[in-house]
Amino acid sequence: MVVAQRYGERHRILLTGGAGFVGSHLADALIARGAHVVVLDNFVTGSKDNVAHLVDHPRFTLVEADVSEPLPAVEPLSARFDAIMHFASPASPTDFEQLPVEILRVGSLATLQLLERAVADGARFILASTSEAYGDPLVHPQPETYWGNVNPIGIRSVYDEAKRFSEAATMGYRRGRGADVGIVRIFNTYGERMRPDDGRAIPTFVTQALRDEPITVHGSGTQTRSICYVSDLVRGILLLLDSTETGPINCGTEHEMTMLELADTIVRLSDSTSRVALIARTADDPERRRPDLTKARELLGYEPLVGPEEGLARTVAYFKAR
Ligand code: NAD
């Protein structure tokens, strides 16, 4: 059920992964609501730069620590939290290859530790899950009732299965310990503060387009994604936080595009002379991806507002400025 803004003024919110792409935008939105935000991040894929504009804010605290280890006994972490939002996790294709154990640990050990803390504090716990929970889906578009099609030992499995475990843990703590939880399944999100070299399609294509280099599209380029601008995702997450819904609830957009359409759009918006170069398809790369947003609409009143042209233009402008 959607309720009026529940988390804001004076609430203490622990946000893991808050120095990352999504986390830093979430931190901005929570600060703007009047919350006190404690970001816990070890910068494995995030950066202090993403929150540099917040470090002097009186309601912002940055703690550098690995959330897969026991939480450090420092003052900002000892006081009670009203909400705990677990967004820490390497999440890009290059990370799946380079940080497999770190991904497994932050999806499992860190999730369990944070759920324990949420129960102890009586805090609402929000888990950042993923459309990767559906694997290479055999059902299209993907409703939350679909159980997915995941290769448990493939190159992406450390991420997919860690997130599936973290969902199971979150439901287990709800049923077994009475935890107040909400799970959001995030579909491909993009925008300012993405890493240019993280291997995800949009920052890769934008970087290549701005350098007039070939746009490297995997496979035939006919595989699809539904891309979501980060401000829409953040709004959806806050709707879930404020609600009493458990989820999982999909969050994203229905703007489904092939990789070739995405490449063409980015080349055009970048005023680039780049051409597409098809390269080998990565293993277990999902063929189609589009969220069924019925639940998000009905339970949260969620509606994405930013179309791909507008969001991609903003993203191109950001990378250009850098
Ligand atoms: P990101 O890599 O930019 O952010 C992740 C942040 O978590 C980084 O700041 C990183 O340093 C931090 N982190 C990772 N492991 C940590 C640890 N052990 N201890 C402390 N901090 C740690 O990635 P993102 O795209 O912003 O993703 C944020 C969350 O959203 C992740 O949980 C991801 O799985 C989820 N998600 C993102 C997308 C997307 O399209 N961006 C899609 C689905 C799910």
Say how far apart CA 126 and CA 180 lie, in whole Å: 9
Residue 89 CA, ligand 1 centroid: distance in Å: 4
Residue 88 CA, ligand 1 centroid: distance in Å: 4
Residue 303 CA, ligand 1 centroid: distance in Å: 23
The predicted-structure confidence for 69-118, as pLDDT tens digits, reads as follows: 999 999 899 999 999 999 999 999 999 999 999 999 999 999 999 999 99
Q: Look up 173 and say whether it is catalytic.
A: no
Cβ of 232 less than 6 Å from ligand 1 = no
The closest alpha carbon to 155, from 100, 105, 103, 104, belongs to 100
Mean of all residue pLDDT scores within the chain: 95
Tokens of 240: 């879930």
Whole-model pTM: value is: 0.96
Identify the residue whose C-alpha is closest to ligand 1 atom 13: 88
The answer to whether residue 4 scores a pLDDT higher than 90 is: no
pLDDT in the model for residue 282: 82
Cβ of 188 less than 6 Å from ligand 1 = yes
Question: In testing the pocket of ligand 1, which one of 14, 45, 170, 194 has its CB within 8 Å of the most ligand atoms?
Answer: 45
The predicted-structure confidence for 222-232, as pLDDT tens digits, reads as follows: 999 899 999 99
Average pLDDT for 234-250: 97
Question: In testing the pocket of ligand 1, which one of 22, 95, 101 has its CB within 8 Å of the most ligand atoms?
Answer: 22
Give the chain's count of helices (H) and strands (E). Answer: 10, 13
The predicted-structure confidence for 257-297, as pLDDT tens digits, reads as follows: 999 999 999 999 999 999 999 999 888 788 889 999 999 99
Cβ of 203 less than 6 Å from ligand 1 = no
The answer to whether residue 175 scores a pLDDT higher than 80 is: yes
Say how far apart CA 283 and CA 295 lie, in whole Å: 31
pLDDT in the model for residue 2: 63
Residue 275 CA, ligand 1 centroid: distance in Å: 31
Could you tell me the pLDDT band of residue 201, with boundaries at 50, 70 and 90?
very high
Taking a C-beta distance cutoff of 8 angstroms, is the pair 114, 67 a contact?
yes
For residue 280, the number of C-alpha atoms closer than 13 Å in the C-beta half-sphere is: 3
Could you tell me the pLDDT band of residue 32, with boundaries at 50, 70 and 90?
very high
Cβ of 226 less than 6 Å from ligand 1 = no
Could you tell me the pLDDT band of residue 3, with boundaries at 50, 70 and 90?
low
Average pLDDT for 118-125: 98
Asked if this assembly's ipTM is beyond 0.90, the reply is yes
Residue that wins the pLDDT comparison between 131 and 282? 131
What string of DSSP letters covers 58-97?
TTEEEEE--TTSPPP--HHHHS--SEEEE-----SHHHHH
Taking a C-beta distance cutoff of 8 angstroms, is the pair 165, 109 a contact?
no
Cβ of 22 less than 6 Å from ligand 1 = yes
What string of DSSP letters covers 272-314?
----EEEEPPPTT--S---B--HHIIIII-------HHHHHHH
pLDDT in the model for residue 193: 96
Residue 274 CA, ligand 1 centroid: distance in Å: 30
4-18, 41-55, 171-185: which has the minimum mean pLDDT? 4-18
Helix H segments across 145-194? 157-177
Taking a C-beta distance cutoff of 8 angstroms, is the pair 136, 287 a contact?
yes
pLDDT in the model for residue 279: 93
Average pLDDT for 206-210: 96
Identify the residue whose C-alpha is closest to ligand 1 atom 35: 128
